[in-house]
Structure 1
Amino acid sequence: MTIAAALLYALASGTLQTMPVQTAPPRTAPVPATRDEQDAQPTGAPASSADGDVVDDVLVSGTKPRGSVRGDIEPDITLTSEQLAAYGATNVAELLAAVEPLTRSGRGRGDGGPVVLLNGRRTSGFQEIRGIPFEAIERFEILPEEVALTYGFAADQRVVNIILKADFRQGSLQGRVNGPSQGGRTTTGAQISAFQVNVRDRWNFELEQTHNTALWEDERDITRSPGSQPFDLIGNVGGIRFPTLVQPNPQPPYEIDPALSMLAGTPVTYAANPGVSNPTLAQFAAGANAPRTGDLGAYRTLLPRGDATRLTTSWARDLNETIKGTVSLTLNDTASFSYLGLPGVTLQAPAGRNGSPFSREVNVYRYIADPGAVTRDNETLTGNLGLLLDGYVGDYRWTLSGAYDRVETDTTTGSGLDTRAAQAAVTAGTLNPFGALAASSFTRRVDTANAVASGGNLEAVLTGDLFDAPAGGVNATIKLGGDTRTLDAESSRYNDATGTNVFSSRSIGRDRAYGTVNFTLPVSDPSREILGFLGDLSVNFNAGYDHASDFGGLTTLGAGFNWVPADPFSVIVSYTDEEGAPTIQQLNDPVITTPNSPVFDYRTNKSVLINRIDGGNAGLSADNRHVWKVGLNFKPWSTQDFSVSTNYTNTVIENAISAFPTITADLEAALPSRFTRVAGELVSIDARPLNYAETRREELRTGFNFSRAFGTPTSPAAGAPGAGGFAGLGGGRPGGAGGPPPGVGGGQGRPGGGPMMMFGGGGGRGGFGGGQPGQGRFNVSIYHTYRFADQIVIADSLPVLDLLDGAATGSRGGTPRNELQIQGGVFRNGLGAFVNANWLQGTEVDGGLGGSDLTFSSQTTVNLNVFADLSSRPTWVARFPWLKGARINLGVQNLFDSRQDVRSSTGDVALNYQPDYLDPQGRIISLTFRKILY
């Protein structure tokens, strides 16, 4: 935390306060507040901004800004349009990815993103907002999880509230290309989009196409071990155990032929096939105990070839003075194709005939040159329709939302070759297993799977103040809803015994009825002289009931308080007890077997290729989560955009539902039925999800976020391009096309169009947002996570797996005890750069008794994005007019090509943990060009 300490010291000593301070723009007469603005203000607060002021980019006001969330919980972080420009994102989806360290929560069931509101309202789905250009955003607020309760969501994800400019429109074309600096793979994409918002309507449209080329294994530095059965295109032979004979090796591998062993001078268990139709013992002796190890890198993809097409559109409209309606639609078509190597076949050659020089039967191990026989073809079609009505009944806000979605997935797996006909020919003497073998001698084995998941829901939320208590209004949020979901799964798996496909189908449905209620009760309020010595204190209570047709009743109970003892501090404490059912996908996904899946076998200390079985597990049970959270937010300087936050989270989950983890010695000992071994060699893993008896996580996440303007603002001549914003398109020209006249558009009534724009760039057409000409902005944030505990109890009778000390569930080792995230961005005069760095502490995994321990090194990953808004260069635009509205981004992911180093206790590097296998792409360079059309 050296960087954090240095910045804190500089702030305290006043070093950074010597930077130029932006003066407040001249005020205009206040305008009438909209219904949303009235709703955002405290009871009895004036609707206008007459009592507000701006000091060093910070608004001090007795009212909440337009579009703020309901309730008394203030944002932890507020980013203005100028600050957002330093992140280099082009739309909401990219922006949410860039600010992930600021929105991360340790309370959810997975790694899902935050709850996203638009102008303080619920949305009809992420498709409604993902493509909104960042230039249309006026303010971006990040709030604690407890705010979600007021909107009918569970308090397990942070809340992001996006406030749009009042009047904005933009259409754009975008093209991008990226690929690893090592080469081997290229991703290209194109997108056309349009967005518009005005006083009554908002709509957007996006069409995007992406193509990925395949990355082949031989394009990276990967070394594979031959495995227990050495397959090769020319082939090898191995001995077969004969119970009636006395053999020097009673355990595999077995002696091929005593005559060959005598000729070679040592017992021979494997020998390279000479590659001729009638080989001799002498020719086999030349390759005794030195089997060929065929390199299949040219036939195996590390990353698949893929294509994706996405269409997104939405339309929102004010139906009357109090009701807004929204409809949104997304269609996705994604496809990928992987090559998994060559099919390996084992043929038993009779003794002394058909080209065999041996006195015993032997196994012949051959790869067949048919790469199309071991493949994975996957296509997914997704459709989502969302509807939303939002309005008021008196002082109560109501929301009625509905959605329908359908996901169809088709998977075709080439699982190898059927050898029955070829083996019959070898036995009959019509096929020589030592000579050339054509793919036409075999039959391809093909498995198929199809899954169709569909469902719809209808949900109503009502929120408002029930009555006015001494310390303020007692708020209630009530949600009632129901949904229905089905998952139809079909699979066809090849049966080696019969040579036919065995068809199976399963169908599962779930109907739910649910309801939640949340009450927020103000306890003290100094402004009302109610228990003022306590500061601002409110408590909340929430409860929910969810009746699932296949799991019965599931309950949720929670409580907490929000306390502001003094202006710089705020404290939030909460507890949640929640029961949750597995998804129908976790229960009923079709069973799929993937051949040639590499895993590290801790028992034998080597990498092996196995059959991995994935799909649903109908035996899963519901879990029960208990979550404690204590959060502290500190804003020490009212004139500085600086905040410190720390959050302690303690989560215990009984019957935790989990994906199958990376195999370890402890895991196999606990779940032996999930592992299949033949003669001690691992050949298959059942990797379907499972229930742990209990998991426990405890962590503390602390960090700060700091932003400041720098540079001296310049005043462009009246009528010059970009007056009131960056030179370029629009940017908030008073009375300009697409923008309201001065003082119109609601909010705080400042000149330049849209409301609450502290830095110009209000409404109008699509400019590049934020800041006065000549002035810049930098942001920096540092967050440190310390994990006290991360433990798993697979079953009550088994020992605890400590992911911080020797256990693991993922391919990256155990859980790092310490994690550090650093972000920094700067933007000025159309030029900017954004850096995102992440450091993870190293871990160790215990291989168990007789196994191999693995050490995973610490890793630092740095991502850099440099961007330029070419419209901000008037001389360039004058010479090349097509640059008007153009933006170019140059990104480098994993700037220093950092790779995690994984070593076993013997010093070897297993296949699964070779750097190019863990991270096939490494450093990725991307170039994006966007052209604003209007």
Structure 2
Amino acid sequence: MTLRILLASSFTAIAASLAYPAAAQDTAQPAQVGDTPEVIDATDGGSENEIIVIGNTLRGQVDAPQPPILELDEEDIATYGAGSLAELVQALSTETGSGRGRGGGPPTFLVNGLRVSSFREMRSYPPEAIQKVEVLAEEVAQRYGFSPDQRVINFILKDNFSSREIEVEYGQPFDGGTSDKELEATLLNISGPSRLNINLELSDTSLLTEAERGVIQSVVPVVPGDPDQGPYRSLVSDSEDYELTANWTRGIGEAGASLSLNGTAQRSDGRSLSGLDTVTLTDPDGDSALRIFGADNPLTRRTRTDTFSFGSTLNARAGDWQLTGTIDASHADSTSRIDRRAETAALVQAAADGTLAIDGPLPPLADAGFDTAKSKTDSAAAKITAMGNPILLPAGEISVTLDSGYDWQRIDSSDTRNPEFDTELTRGNLNGGVNVSVPIASRRDDAWAFLGDLTANFSAGAEHLSDFGTLMDWSAGLNWGLTEELNFQASYIFREAAPGLSQLGAPTIVNLNVPVYDFTTGQTALATVTTGGNPALTSETQRDIKLGLTYDLPWFDRSNISVEYFRNRSSDVTASFPLLTPDIEAAFPDRVTRGSGGTLLAIDQRPVTFAEQNSQRIRIGLNFSGEISGGEEQSGGGSRGPGPVAGGAPAAAPGGGGPLRATFDPQRFAAIRQSLCAEGDTPPDLSVLPEPMQARLRGADGQIDPQRLAELRTRICSAEAGQAAAAAQGGAAPTGAAPQVRIPGGRGPGGPGFVRGGGPGGRGGPGGGGGRWNIGLNHTIELENEVLIADGGPLLDLLDGDALSGGGVSRHTLSLQGGAFYKGFGTRLSADYQSGTRVEGSGLPGSSDLTFGDLFTLDWRMFADLGRQEKLVESVPFLKNTRVSFAIDNVFDTRQEVTDQNGEVPLRYQPFLMDPVGRRFEIEFRKMF
């Protein structure tokens, strides 16, 4: 009886695959539906005639032992009100940032479960083109050949989508002074595996000066008529940016191969003000006066950066292996022109001779000209990955990822202020690695089922750097699904890491009149600050442990809690130059220059190497999501209006674009049985089979594998199969996404065990009606964070009075995200909190401790999809497919308060220096054609 039920279920899946194409011919194809449901035979560890029914999934979903950290369907995406995938990723930064504390930067990206050359390929896509988003753990990144300090975002695209979009934004602080303007135009066409995207973006930010925020100056005029420095020192630079991006993807053949090309050209211009010239004049009587001059020609830095980027991705199959080749290259040319300080020796001499009154008018001085700092950075990265499931165990298939690549970087930098420090650095990085995931126990496959689902993961890699030698890394991990709802993860990571080439070779630049708080004197000084690279840096050794627990809560549509523990141990740590505390100055005395009275004159802030850094933290995450009943029948996200987008493919079917109901097609199934089960030696006509079934019968050479065909014929032609088919025919028509069953011999074009085919479905998948709400809370608790500056040197406790940058490390950080979308209207709140810290002074006279207060910020965004308001569109047809948004950042205009032990605010930590913008609003108009 059980066998017959399994067979009936399996042939129900086949029925869905046979019925769906006919239904799709009569009805607008839902944008969300993937390819024809895949029917795969399976003898995986079971009896000879056993067929296993796999759960419902979308084509392009990632199949990994680690469950997704976050899944978003179309309704969920709509609650973010994002205008592009770049904005959506920014809104998801709390969930997509790695908790390892290694500064892994932005997450890595997949499209339909496959690697891409870079985020440029899809960052300008409108969210309406996305069917589902998956956020996956760092362990999954290793399965795709990425480093283990980045999380993964997988974008599952709709099969057919077309749009032309214009977006206009304007924003400014409530206090005025500066404004941001942005214009963006986007074209996107998606037709199955083929895509075309062109994006043009223009942005402008106006200058904001210290005078416009009332910043108190550390150097003030003492002679009437001398100008104040405030109007000539910038808080926000004047900048203009222009960017043009083109992306093209084309499917190749019928085996799921694809080729993509993308290119970007960008120009950025910036201008900032560094104040005015100063000179101290002393007359023959010994009286002196500090003079400020040059208001007609303030010290200015002008920077222009041109960047050109290119990328390409080739995805193909070789038998049961998914092969991906990527290349990403860029060239950046930056030129900074920094005004020189005026030559004042003649003024000093004239005052000393008594020919120039120290408080009188100053004669004009010749233009001192400017210095030029140039930097050219070239980079290229090529990588090939192969992913497959070569071995079948009782608990499932072993998944293997092999990757090999070559990275190349070159930095050429020069500075006329320091001509002897011209830099030419080149680095080549030949790297390779392997990742193996071994299933140990499986409930589905009834292998050690009492243990639940248990998988071990191992990886190892090596890289040979032309300027550093060979570095190694390896890791081991365990993923344990104790129950369907409870999952445990553990991993250990060893890695040797080299400093970045920019940390080694950035141009040496001397910045004048930079405010620096001096913990030794308790004063803010205008010091000369040197920045750039440090070629003496060494490689870093990292040893990390991660433990994680995830539990799906039985509330709402989707809710879960996750708890992660991280322990990091590092030696020979490369870091930016830390906050200038007495301990730091004692450890790096050659980096600080003081005057005869102890006044801070100059500081060299190029990177340094610490002996050790150790940290421990816990991160707790809560996610809730649910539906709002009573909404419109059509679901969707963002600004999708009713009906298809102009010039595009048909819009989603009612009910959120879920799969159409399909009825069993007995005639077509009978034709399949007749062809496969005919007696005699005549080869069967396989053209009657759905293409996905044909693809899975092919071997490595692309030809039909006789063994696979024989096994398929045995199962379909058996008596039990005929009875199961009859049961499927007589039963209810399948709804939702059709189930899948495995075929011996491998996977289809969707991916080698990592990617499963089928239509949408499963818990919390897109469905009909209503709106959607979601809430996410993340709380990080720092348990330990210590730095040993040098062997035998001071040990800094960053949680208890010491600091490397800013104001120490907050013990608690929290982030709360929440949003809702209903009947075309949406709102979203983002709240962030960090606990206060303190930094201890030297204890010497004049020195002071600093207290950095708690900081809480709240951002609010609301948006209206005018295209979904039918009466409004009838009155004003132009509003079809439009959305307007209004956002307020930092609603309560909060800034971190910094005080010394007397309760006073040091000049360097004035609120407007900490955050010159504060509360800000933004208005956005978005129109899709």
Kindly report which structure 2 residues correspond to 1:783-932, keeping only aligned pairs within 5 A, or say none.
783-811=778-806, 813-850=807-844, 851-932=847-928
Greater RCO (Cα-Cα under 8 Å, separation 6 or more) = 2
Give the match for residue 507 of structure 1. Answer: 424
Give the match for residue 84 of structure 1. Answer: 77
Give the match for residue 614 of structure 2. Answer: 696
Give, in whole Å, the separation in 2 of the partners of 1:504 and 1:696.
Answer: 34
Match of 2:563 among 639, 646, 651: 646
Give, in whole Å, the separation in 2 of the partners of 1:41 and 1:214.
Answer: 65
1:611-630 Cα deviation digits (max 9, x unpaired): 11000101011111111111
1:345-386 Cα deviation digits (max 9, x unpaired): 23454x2xxxxxx2x4x5442111245342221221111100
Give, in whole Å, the separation in 1 of the partners of 2:486 and 2:524.
Answer: 53
Give the match for residue 118 of structure 2. Answer: 125
Give, in whole Å, the separation in 1 of the partners of 2:821 and 2:554.
Answer: 23
Give the match for residue 266 of structure 2. Answer: 332
Bigger mean CA deviation after superposition, 208-217 or 792-801: 792-801
1:369 pairs with 2:291:
no
Contact 1:403 1:457 in 2 (8 A): yes
Q: Are residues 309 and 77 of structure 1, via their aligned partners in 2, closer, same or farther at CA, if it must alter by over 3 Å?
A: same
Kindly report which structure 2 residues correspond to 1:402-551, keeping only aligned pairs within 5 A, or say none.
402-423=327-348, 431-438=356-363, 440-444=364-368, 446-493=370-417, 502=419, 504-551=421-468
Give, in whole Å, the separation in 2 of the partners of 1:701 and 1:418.
Answer: 56
Q: Are residues 39 and 138 of structure 1, via their aligned partners in 2, closer, same or farther at CA, if it must alter by over 3 Å?
A: farther
Match of 2:321 among 376, 396, 400: 396
SS at 2:585 equivalent? helix
Give, in whole Å, the separation in 2 of the partners of 1:132 and 1:426.
Answer: 65
Q: Which amino acid aligns with 1:300?
A: R
Contact 2:34 2:58 in 1 (8 A): no
Contact 2:373 2:414 in 1 (8 A): yes
Contact 1:856 1:900 in 2 (8 A): yes
Give, in whole Å, the separation in 1 of the partners of 2:45 and 2:362.
Answer: 86
Q: Are residues 109 and 383 of structure 1, via their aligned partners in 2, closer, same or farther at CA, if it must alter by over 3 Å?
A: farther
Contact 1:40 1:65 in 2 (8 A): no
- Pairwise CA distance, 1:70: 3.9
Give the match for residue 245 of structure 1. Answer: none
Give the match for residue 681 of structure 1. Answer: 599
- Pairwise CA distance, 1:436: 1.1
Contact 2:162 2:647 in 1 (8 A): no
Give, in whole Å, the separation in 1 of the partners of 2:40 and 2:186.
Answer: 31
- Pairwise CA distance, 1:225: 3.3
1:465-488 Cα deviation digits (max 9, x unpaired): 121122211111111111221111
Bigger mean CA deviation after superposition, 646-655 or 422-431: 422-431
Q: Which amino acid aligns with 2:515?
A: P
- Pairwise CA distance, 1:31: 4.2
Q: Which amino acid aligns with 2:520?
A: R
Contact 2:658 2:760 in 1 (8 A): no
SS at 2:114 equivalent? coil
Identity of aligned residues (%): 33
Give, in whole Å, the separation in 1 of the partners of 2:427 and 2:194.
Answer: 37
- Pairwise CA distance, 1:103: 1.6
- Pairwise CA distance, 1:712: 2.0
SS at 1:533 equivalent? helix
Q: Are residues 866 and 831 of structure 1, via their aligned partners in 2, closer, same or farther at CA, if it must alter by over 3 Å?
A: same
Q: Are residues 371 and 617 of structure 1, via their aligned partners in 2, closer, same or farther at CA, if it must alter by over 3 Å?
A: farther
Match of 1:112 among 105, 112, 131: 105
SS at 1:391 equivalent? strand
Give, in whole Å, the separation in 2 of the partners of 1:783 and 1:565.
Answer: 24
Contact 1:75 1:141 in 2 (8 A): yes
SS at 2:61 equivalent? coil
Q: Which amino acid aligns with 2:905?
A: V
Bigger mean CA deviation after superposition, 100-109 or 624-633: 100-109
Contact 1:342 1:371 in 2 (8 A): no
Contact 1:77 1:643 in 2 (8 A): no
Gaps of 5+ in 1: 1-25, 53-59, 236-272, 276-291, 352-357, 495-501, 716-722, 763-769
Give, in whole Å, the separation in 2 of the partners of 1:877 and 1:29.
Answer: 40
1:302 pairs with 2:219:
no
1:371-429 Cα deviation digits (max 9, x unpaired): 53422212211111001101110010011111211111111112411123444555677
Give, in whole Å, the separation in 1 of the partners of 2:249 and 2:493.
Answer: 35
SS at 1:459 equivalent? strand
Give the match for residue 12 of structure 2. Answer: none
Q: Are residues 463 and 858 of structure 1, via their aligned partners in 2, closer, same or farther at CA, if it must alter by over 3 Å?
A: same
- Pairwise CA distance, 1:65: 2.2
SS at 1:74 equivalent? coil
Give the match for residue 320 of structure 1. Answer: 253
Give the match for residue 779 of structure 1. Answer: 774
Contact 1:741 1:753 in 2 (8 A): no
Give, in whole Å, the separation in 2 of the partners of 1:42 and 1:454.
Answer: 49
Give, in whole Å, the separation in 2 of the partners of 1:274 and 1:152.
Answer: 66
Q: Are residues 822 and 378 of structure 1, via their aligned partners in 2, closer, same or farther at CA, if it must alter by over 3 Å?
A: same
Normalising by the residue count of structure 2, what TM-score does the alignment of the two structures yield? 0.81
1:153-207 Cα deviation digits (max 9, x unpaired): 1111111111111111111111110010011111111011111111131121110
Contact 1:415 1:595 in 2 (8 A): no
1:265-310 Cα deviation digits (max 9, x unpaired): xxxxxxxx578xxxxxxxxxxxxxxxx9x63111111111111111
Contact 1:310 1:330 in 2 (8 A): yes
Kindly report which structure 2 residues correspond to 1:531-610, keeping only aligned pairs within 5 A, or say none.
531-610=448-527
Contact 2:898 2:909 in 1 (8 A): yes
- Pairwise CA distance, 1:732: 6.7
Contact 1:419 1:442 in 2 (8 A): no
Q: Which amino acid aligns with 1:618?
A: P
Gaps of 5+ in 2: 1-14, 22-32, 663-734, 738-757
Q: Which amino acid aligns with 1:307?
A: E
Q: Are residues 34 and 867 of structure 1, via their aligned partners in 2, closer, same or farther at CA, if it must alter by over 3 Å?
A: closer
Bigger mean CA deviation after superposition, 68-77 or 867-876: 68-77
Give, in whole Å, the separation in 2 of the partners of 1:503 and 1:610.
Answer: 23
Contact 2:415 2:508 in 1 (8 A): yes
Q: Are residues 445 and 714 of structure 1, via their aligned partners in 2, closer, same or farther at CA, if it must alter by over 3 Å?
A: closer
Match of 2:275 among 341, 364, 373: 341
Give, in whole Å, the separation in 2 of the partners of 1:609 and 1:735.
Answer: 59
Q: Which amino acid aligns with 2:394?
A: P
Give, in whole Å, the separation in 2 of the partners of 1:346 and 1:194.
Answer: 60
SS at 1:178 equivalent? strand
Normalising by the residue count of structure 1, what TM-score does the alignment of the two structures yield? 0.81
Contact 1:821 1:836 in 2 (8 A): yes
SS at 2:444 equivalent? helix
- Pairwise CA distance, 1:809: 2.1
1:105-132 Cα deviation digits (max 9, x unpaired): 1226315111111110111211101111
